[in-house]
Each structure stands twice: as C-alpha cells, then as structure tokens.
Amino acid sequence: MFDKFSQPIRGLWLTDFDGTIKPELAPVSPADLRALADLKKRGWFRAVATGRSLFSFARAWQPGLEFDALIFSSGVGLCSWGPLGPGPLISARVFTPREARAAVGAALSLGLGFFAYQAPPDNHHFYYHRPRRAPLGFARRLEIFPVQNQAWSAGLFEGRRPPVLSQVMIMAPNEDIERVEADFRRLAPGLSLLRSSSPFGDGCIWLEIYPPGVSKGRAAAALAGRLGLPPSRTVAMGNDYNDRDLLDWAGRAFISRQAPAELRSLYQTLPPAGQGSLARAAELVFDGRNKAEAR
C-alpha cells in the first residue's frame, strides 16, 4: 500500500488543510513545504486530513506540496498521494440505504435544506434541497460546483437504483446549532455528526452527517494501525471543530491561532495558515525531542 518508505516509519504527522496550512487566498507557505520535505527525511509518514472531497482537494493542491496519504471528507475516504497527485483509493465509507433515508428524512422533517453527496471517489457530485430561506453559503456552494449538483427529488429513493450516499450536510445559524444538532440526533440516532465553520461569513455552522464512526480521528487511528504506529508516535494539526477528535487522539496536538476560542484553550497554538505553522510545529516537536535525548 505505502511502499515508498525504504526505512522504518518513525511517526505519523497529520495536518488539516484549509485554515491550518492553506490560507484562503494564498498557497501553502514555502516554509511549510520545506518542513514537509524534511519530515520525509526524518522518516515520518505525512498525511493531510481535510473536510474537502478528493476532487475539491485535488483542485486546490499545488505542486511541491509533498505528503503520503490523504484523508478526505473528514474521514469518509483514504487514498495514497504522490508527486503527481492522488493514488489508489484505499478505503471509503458510505451510508447503508436505511442510514441514508434516516439522514435525508431528518433534514426534511426539520425543514432544512441539505446537500447529499455521492460515494467516493465521486463524492463531489451531490443532490441538493433548497430551504425556504437559504443562507449565503448555500447559493455559493451551488455556484462553485455548477456541473456537479442536481436537485433532490423524493423519487430518487424509490427507483430501482437509489443513490449511494456518503455524506449529508446542512447549514444552521450559529445560535441554533445546539438545537438543530439535538433534533437531528433524535431523528437519526447513531450517525456521526461533525461541525465545521462556514467559510462564507454567513453566520452559519455546517453540520456534516456521516455513516457511524466516521471522523478524522477514527480515520487517523486506522491509518496509524496500518503503519504499525501507536498514538504516542503521532502529531496532529487543526483549526476547527471537525478536527477536535483528531487532536484529542494524537500524541501531540496543535491548533491554529485563528481557531474558535473554545478550541484554542485546549491545545498548543500555532501561527495562522500561511505563516509557517507546520514548520513551527516541527520545530517545537523536534527541538523538544532533541533536548530530551540530550539529558
């Protein structure tokens, strides 16, 4: 699976992408690109763990951004990654038909608009149901993916080949997210619910619904198991709510200085994306190890 390592793997380094190493309007910094290359020389396996789909991440990826595996859609899928981009799909999760009906049915019962995403690697294709009062982010999502979207209809579940779904996403105002999440859990128990901040500045939280057990932390644990590494040999970086279980699982955790305040109080903070955050984290990790070994 990961045959490019001729030497023993010393550790697993995981980083979120948007808002952690990738600024909104600029590429990953040269300092962070160099730090990623240095991690390989040190024998570390490097993985990006992102909420983006495989397609969306590939569009944002830049040559010179070196790493070994991609956890995408917050843990729905895992693929290898090389100098030319994505490699084979290693694992993917989808809803059972019953789970998909529960997720979509809960969104409809709550009167919420939603996006329902197809199975990897094509989970950039999605169905949408527009709410009566759509937030800014809803329309922007449709504009960004004009070819990949299709209006939802009740008959889709009734056909001979109902769609296979991997994720449902709804948008709720910040002040309503606690109620919406509680209601969703009541209507569709057992599914994995993750929050992330809207990138559109529209005062919304995105509630992302996945098959049971899907999260960045669970995907990272499975990857570490494949590599034969315990959590103590892992480092993770993030910037948002959907990174929290990843940061809690990792042996060493860092968060962006621009993360929500309630998260900044839990982990060691790093410079904002674009200002060498990964390079700084590596400095802290390896400087601390070198000092410990010198004692």
Q: What are the boundaries of each domain within the chain?
A: 11-93+215-294, 97-210
Which pTM value belongs to this model?
0.93
- pLDDT digits over 177-195, tens only? 999 999 999 999 999 999 9
pLDDT, averaged across the chain: 93
Higher pLDDT, 34 or 2: 34
- Mean pLDDT throughout 112-133? 95
- Mean pLDDT throughout 115-139? 95
pLDDT score for 259: 96
Q: Is the pLDDT of residue 289 over 80?
A: no
pLDDT score for 291: 46
Pair of tokens at residue 232 = 């103590």
State in Å, rounded, how far the first CA of the chain is from the last one.
38
| Element holding 56 (H helix, E strand) | helix 54-60
- Mean pLDDT throughout 122-130? 96
Q: Is the pLDDT of residue 267 over 70?
A: yes
Cα angle, residue 259 at apex, residues 254 and 262 outer, rounded to 5°: 90
Q: Give the span between the Cα atoms of 294 and 283, in whole angstroms.
A: 16
Whole-Å CA distances, 241 to 208, 230, 246, 264, 283: 11, 24, 10, 11, 25
Closest CA to 277 of 12, 6, 13, 20: 20
- Mean pLDDT throughout 118-126? 96
Q: Where are the beta strands (DSSP E) in the chain?
A: 11-15, 44-49, 69-72, 77-82, 85-92, 114-118, 126-129, 149-151, 165-173, 192-197, 204-210, 234-238, 252-256, 268-270
Pair of tokens at residue 164 = 């296979």
Q: Is the pLDDT of residue 80 over 70?
A: yes
Whole-Å CA distances, 174 to 59, 133, 187, 202: 29, 15, 20, 9
| CATH code of the domain made up of 97-210 | 3.30.1240.10
- pLDDT digits over 16-34, tens only? 999 999 999 999 999 999 9
The class (CATH top level) of 11-93+215-294 is alpha beta
Tell me if 11-93+215-294 shares its fold with 97-210.
Answer: no
- Mean pLDDT throughout 59-85? 96
pLDDT score for 163: 94
Q: Is the pLDDT of residue 63 over 70?
A: yes
Q: Is the pLDDT of residue 292 over 60?
A: no
- Proportion of the chain above pLDDT 70, given as a percent: 95
Is the bond preceding 135 in cis, omega lying within 30 degrees of 0? no
pLDDT score for 158: 85
Which of 72-76, 153-157, 181-185 comes out lowest in average pLDDT? 153-157
